């Protein structure tokens, strides 16, 4: 199949067959306030130094916060946290939504925000960014990590899944 016949819709459908976990990328948007964005583009890039990449839509609100702050948290969601994934993919953010959904943040010593109760966390400093089509790829050097308990929330063929479903 030549690339000329690959429509965006077909490309999305094909890439949907690549099962992923789900993360929420968090950035301090103003002192003490957090903006989060659901993202499944997280990839492990390098062990020496420790690098990850995320791809951020040019249209997203997160982009300008990330370009300014140049550091971000990644919370890998567990299988009880689908509502958080939906919220950070679509919802209006703020104290009301945080209270309704029971969203709590924790901060690293270097003031990188993370979601409490996630399956795992990474705190990263941006070391490079590359414009790539309608997204920007950010390379983040990993400053700290931690592991929680539970099973991952998965995304496959446009649907949330768990290891059992
Ligand atoms: C499962 C899933 C994965 C997503 N992954 C990404 C991603 O990797 N990068 C991205 O820019 N948007 C991704 N999105 C879309 C954003 O979460 C969505 O456009 C969000 O509203 C943009 O955030 P913001 O404008 O509030 O910053 C994903 C959405 C879902 C549901």
Q: Which domain holds residue 80?
A: 20-157
Distance 12 CA to ligand 1 centre (A): 14
The rounded distance, in Å, linking the Cα atoms of 18 and 11 is: 11
55 with 106: CB under 8 angstroms? Answer: no
Distance 89 CA to ligand 1 centre (A): 5
Residue 91, in any domain of the structure: yes
Q: Whose CA is nearest to atom 18 of ligand 1?
A: 89
- Give the CATH number for residue 80: 2.30.110.10
pLDDT band of 93, cuts 50, 70, 90: very high
Residue 55, in any domain of the structure: yes
Residue 165, in any domain of the structure: no
Residue 1, in any domain of the structure: no
Q: Is it the case that residue 3 has pLDDT exceeding 80?
A: no
Which atom of ligand 1 lies closest to the CA of 56? Answer: 11
Examine residue 77 and say whether the peptide bond preceding it is cis (omega within 30 degrees of 0): no
The pLDDT of residue 164:
83
pLDDT band of 91, cuts 50, 70, 90: confident
- Chain segment 96-136, per-residue pLDDT in tens: 999 999 999 999 999 999 999 999 999 999 999 999 999 99
CA-closest candidate to residue 77, choices 24, 125, 19: 24
- Arithmetic mean of pLDDT over the chain: 96
Residue 115, in any domain of the structure: yes
CA-closest candidate to residue 41, choices 136, 131, 151, 125: 136
Q: Give how many domains the chain has, as a whole number.
A: 1
Residues at CB less than 6 angstroms from ligand 1: 22, 37-41, 55-57, 60-62, 89-90, 155
The pLDDT of residue 1:
57
Residue 2, in any domain of the structure: no
- Chain segment 34-57, per-residue pLDDT in tens: 999 999 999 999 999 999 999 999
Tokens 């945080």 label which residue? Answer: 98
Q: Whose CA is nearest to atom 22 of ligand 1?
A: 60
144 with 9: CB under 8 angstroms? Answer: no
């Amino acid at each position: 199949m030549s690339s000329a016949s690959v429509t965006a819709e077909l490309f999305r459908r094909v890439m949907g067959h690549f099962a992923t976990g789900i993360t929420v990328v968090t950035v301090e948007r103003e002192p003490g306030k957090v903006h989060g964005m659901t993202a499944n583009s997280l990839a492990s890039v390098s062990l020496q130094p420790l690098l990850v990449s995320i791809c951020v839509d040019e249209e997203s609100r997160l982009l300008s916060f990330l370009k300014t702050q140049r550091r971000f948290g990644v919370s890998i969601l567990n299988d009880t946290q689908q509502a958080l994934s939906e919220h950070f993919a679509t919802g209006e953010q703020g104290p009301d939504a945080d209270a309704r959904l029971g969203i709590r943040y924790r901060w690293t010593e270097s003031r990188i925000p993370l979601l409490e109760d996630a399956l795992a966390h990474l705190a990263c400093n941006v070391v490079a960014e590359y414009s790539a089509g309608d997204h920007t790829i950010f390379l983040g050097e990993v400053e700290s990590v931690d592991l929680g308990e539970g099973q991952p929330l998965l995304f496959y063929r446009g649907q949330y899944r768990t290891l059992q479903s």
